[in-house]
Chains A and B, each alone.
Chain A
C-alpha cells in the first residue's frame, strides 16, 4: 500500500504479504519525508529550533514545540514563571483536542463514515481559532519561548475559550451518536487489532494506545512536569477486553481524552495566577523569564513529554558551534516511529479490509516519524 494512498495518514508504504485475504506478514517502509531535522538543528540557535519542532508532527504542533522547550530549559537551567506554565498548559491541551479531532476526522473515512471528516474539521476550526488567537497562525504557532511564552492570553480570550470549549463538549454527544450508533463502525472496529498492555510497554508504545488497554500510565502523572499536579483530573483509562484493547477501545479512549483536555482547559482558565483577564506585555517577567543563550560543553538536557500520540522526548547535548550557542546534538524520540512497526505486526492474522481500521486506530503521524 504505497506512499500515495488515501488511507495512509501520511506518506509511508506498508508492504503486505497475503494468503488469500488474510495478512501473513507486513513490513513498513518509512523515510519518504526524512528531512534531517536532527542534523539541521546542529546549525541553528536554540530559539530557531522551536520553529522546526512545530513541523515535526504537524497535526499536533504545540505539543512538540513545548516538548523541545522543556528539554532546552532543562539544558540551560531556566525557571519558568507559574503564569507561563498555565498558559502553556492551555495551549498544549487545546492542541491535544485539535489533534484528536484530526485523527477522528481521518479515522471515520477509513471505516467508511465520510461525514465524520467534515464534522470533525468543523470543530477543529473552532479550536484552531482559539489557537490562532494565542499563537498567531493556524498551524505552526512557534508559541513557547525558552523561559516562558511569547504572548499573554489576549483580551477576551477566556470568554471565547470557555464558550467554545463548552460548545465542543456538547457537540461530543453528536460524535458519539454518529459513531456508536452506526452498526458498520461497530462491526469494523470491534474485535479487530487486539493488543495487550505489557507487550506494548516492552515494544515502546505509550500514550492513549496503552491507556486503552486498561492501564492508567500517563507521563503527566508518573513523571510530572508543568502544573498538571495542581489541577484536579485523572488520566482516561478504558476497560479493554480479555484479549486486549481493540480498535474500538482506542477510539473510545481518545474521546475520553478530548473530554479530559477540555476540562483541563476550563480549570486552568479558572486557576491561572493573576486571573485570565489580566494582560501582560510580551517580555514581561511574569510570562517570560530571562534565559541564558549558551550551553557550555558537558551539559545535557532531556525531558519526557506526553504528546497526543505517546511519550515524546528530546535529548539535547550542549557545546556546539559558537561556543555553545548552538546545540551539539539534538535527539528526538518520536512515539510513532516505534508504534508503527508494532502496529504493523498487530495486523497479522486479520483480513486485508481490516488494515485501514487497525492502522488508523493507532493514529499514525508520519511527520514525527521521519523527522
Chain B
C-alpha cells in the first residue's frame, strides 16, 4: 500500500471496529462487567429460545394428526409460543411423530443437519421412541434415537395433545438446565426426559 492509503486505512471501518472492540473488551474485563453482561445476555437468549420454540412442519404418521390438533383451537399450542415452520432452516425443534423407515432415515438425517444450532429433538409417540407396534418389521428402525439424539420422549399411541404440550413444557425446563449446549454433545450427562416418569 502507498503512504496515503496507509494513512487512510487507519480510519477504514474494519480496523476501527476491531480496535474499538479490543479496547472495550479490555475495559469490560477490567471492571468485571463482562461476566455480568455475559450472564444476563445468556439468560436473555435462553428465555428467548425456550419461549418461542419453532417446530418443523413434518407429519410422518398418526401422531401428526394429534400434533395438528394440538395446534388447533381446542388445545392451542400457539399461546405457548410454538409456531410451526415449513423450512428446516428456520426451526429449533424436530418433532418426530412416526416410525422411521429405512427409506426415510436419510431424509430425516438431512433435515436434522439442515437445522441450525441450538436445536432439540422430541420423539413423539411409540413409533419414534422404539419402533412402536412395528418394532419387529423389516423396514422400521427401532426408534429415532438410533440416528438422531433425542431430548424428550413422549409416550402414547398417539399421545394426547395435552401430553404434547406438556412435552414442550418439559423441553422448556430442560433448556433452562442445559442452556445452549450443542446437540451432539448432549449424549451423556443431561439425560433425556421421559414424560410421565415422575
Binding site for B on A (CB under 8 A): 2-6, 10-11, 31-37, 39-40, 43, 51-52, 55, 58-59, 102, 105, 117-118, 121-122, 124-125, 138-140, 367
Contact = CB atoms under 8 A, between A and B. Distances in A.
A140 B57 contact: no
18 contacts: A3-B104, A10-B59, A11-B60, A11-B61, A31-B101, A32-B101, A33-B61, A35-B134, A36-B134, A37-B137, A39-B137, A43-B136, A51-B133, A58-B61, A105-B68, A118-B73, A121-B69, A140-B62
A226 to B, nearest CB: 25
Given A40-B134, A118-B72, A33 B56 contact: no
Nearest to A118: B73
Say what secondary structure dominates the interface of chain B. Answer: loop
Nearest to B75: A125
Contact of A125 (B62, B74, B99, B158): B74
A35 B104 contact: no
B160 A33 contact: no
Interface string B52-79: 0000111111100110110011100000
B167 interface: no
Q: What 3 pairs across the A-B complex have the smallest Cβ distances?
A: A58-B62, A121-B72, A36-B137
A102 B133 contact: no
B29 interface: no
Contacts of A2: 107
Nearest to A121: B72
Given A10-B59, A118-B72, A121-B73, A59 B137 contact: no
A11 B104 contact: yes
Interface in B29-50: none
A138 B99 CA distance: 20
B157 to A, nearest CB: 7
B142 to A, nearest CB: 13
Contacts of A118: 72-73
B69 A125 contact: yes
Nearest to B76: A118
A197 to B, nearest CB: 31
Contacts of B99: 33, 35
B74 A6 contact: no
